[in-house]
């Protein structure tokens, strides 16, 4: 397929472009950044909020993987207008352009949306299944929930348009020398091990459990979801792999790096004690299996990329 990847030069985008290219797909990489040099693939520039630019970007594509978004939970409240414009408005704009392209070309277009486990809020039921009624969540999660509704709604309204939303949990590991958002727990812990930070600040006792998944396993999930997004289909899948406590991350970083990781405990900010993905659906329906997502591999890959 010819596939448009938005956010193609981000952390997940880098892994996905690599994966799709290796599988023989023709990738069109969309970026809003200036100064991005071509590396042998087609690059288009544009803002996902720009309807005219997105109509150009989706021209003659068979599928779209929409990754472009703003993704810092605490920042989302401070920059609410921008987060809604990019995460919700951008997704709706790209999906509309893709549906219009299907009508213009007279052929189906498949759409895969990068969503987030944050849409669930803090449910008591763990691991979290996809059909759990959604609760109030943070500002970031609300923007992504709205994006899901628009994208899946477009598929419900158009028989030539199929859509899948992937609810990603904590994407980690490394690809192309990158380890993702430096403010997330694994990169921050590694920064302490390198000596770039004096200590790791932990809110609470460090017993909170989170779900980690390697970026390369996430890329595989997108590849499978693209195949699954047949015309008229609307589907949602969780993408997670390994539950681990914050203190498990610290211990694994110490083991992998052989270095000390000083820790400072601070009062809890009311963090959820556990957030785990129920991944039975994606394993059964798409045949997805995480291959790189044990905690030691995730940490070792990230350390090798940055040490």
Mean pLDDT of 116-127: 96
* CATH number belonging to the domain at 180-210+242-306, selected among 3.30.56.10, 2.60.40.10, 3.90.25.10, 3.40.50.300: 3.90.25.10
pLDDT for 39 equals 64
User: CB of 200 within 8 A of CB of 261?
Assistant: yes
> Which fold, 2-171+213-239?
Rossmann fold (3.40.50)
Rounded to 5 degrees, what angle do the CA atoms 57, 60, 65 make? 55
Scan for tokens 């200590």, then name that residue: 199
Q: 58: which residues sit within 8 A by CB, 6+ positions away?
A: 4, 64, 94, 97, 98, 100, 101, 109
Which tens digits make up the pLDDT trace of 139-189?
999 999 999 999 999 988 888 899 999 999 999 999 999 999 999 999 999
285-288 contacts: CB < 8 A, separation 24 or more? 285/228, 285/235, 285/237, 286/221, 286/224, 286/225, 286/227, 286/228, 286/237, 287/224, 288/217, 288/220, 288/221, 288/224, 288/237, 288/239
pLDDT for 186 equals 98
Which tens digits make up the pLDDT trace of 249-304?
999 999 999 999 999 999 988 889 999 999 999 999 999 999 999 999 999 999 99
Which residue ranges make up each domain of the chain?
2-171+213-239, 180-210+242-306
pTM across the whole model:
0.96
pLDDT for 37 equals 62
Active site residues: 140
Which tens digits make up the pLDDT trace of 2-35?
999 999 999 999 999 999 999 999 999 999 877 6
Which tens digits make up the pLDDT trace of 69-83?
998 888 999 999 999
pLDDT for 234 equals 95
């Amino acid at each position: 397929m010819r596939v448009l990847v938005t956010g193609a030069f981000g952390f997940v985008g880098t892994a996905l472009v690599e994966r799709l290219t290796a599988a023989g797909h023709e990738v069109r990489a969309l970026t809003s950044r200036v100064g991005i040099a071509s590396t042998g693939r087609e690059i288009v520039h544009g803002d996902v909020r720009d309807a005219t630019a997105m109509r150009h970007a989706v021209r003659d594509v068979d599928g779209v993987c929409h990754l472009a978004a703003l993704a810092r939970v605490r920042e989302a409240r401070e920059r609410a207008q921008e987060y809604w414009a990019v995460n919700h408005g951008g997704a709706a704009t790209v999906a509309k352009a893709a549906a219009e392209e299907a009508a213009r070309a007279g052929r189906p277009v498949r759409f895969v949306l990068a969503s987030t486990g944050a849409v669930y809020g803090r449910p008591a039921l763990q691991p979290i299944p996809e059909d759990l009624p959604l609760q109030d969540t943070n500002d970031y999660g609300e923007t992504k929930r709205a994006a899901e509704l628009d994208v899946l709604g477009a598929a419900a309204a158009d028989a030539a348009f199929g859509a899948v939303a992937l609810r990603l949990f904590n994407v980690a590991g490394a690809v192309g020398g990158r380890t993702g958002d430096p403010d997330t727990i694994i990169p921050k812990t590694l920064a302490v091990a390198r000596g770039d930070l004096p200590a790791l600040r932990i809110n609470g006792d460090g017993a909170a459990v989170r779900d980690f998944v390697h970026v390369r396993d996430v890329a595989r999930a997108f590849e499978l979801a693209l195949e699954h997004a047949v015309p008229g289909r609307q589907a949602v899948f969780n993408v997670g792999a390994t539950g681990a406590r914050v203190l498990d991350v610290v211990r694994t970083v110490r083991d992998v790096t052989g270095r000390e990781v000083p820790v400072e405990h601070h009062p809890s900010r009311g963090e959820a004690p556990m957030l785990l993905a129920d991944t039975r659906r994606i394993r059964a329906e798409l045949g997805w299996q995480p291959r790189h997502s044990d905690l030691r591999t995730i940490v070792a890959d990230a350390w090798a990329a940055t040490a």
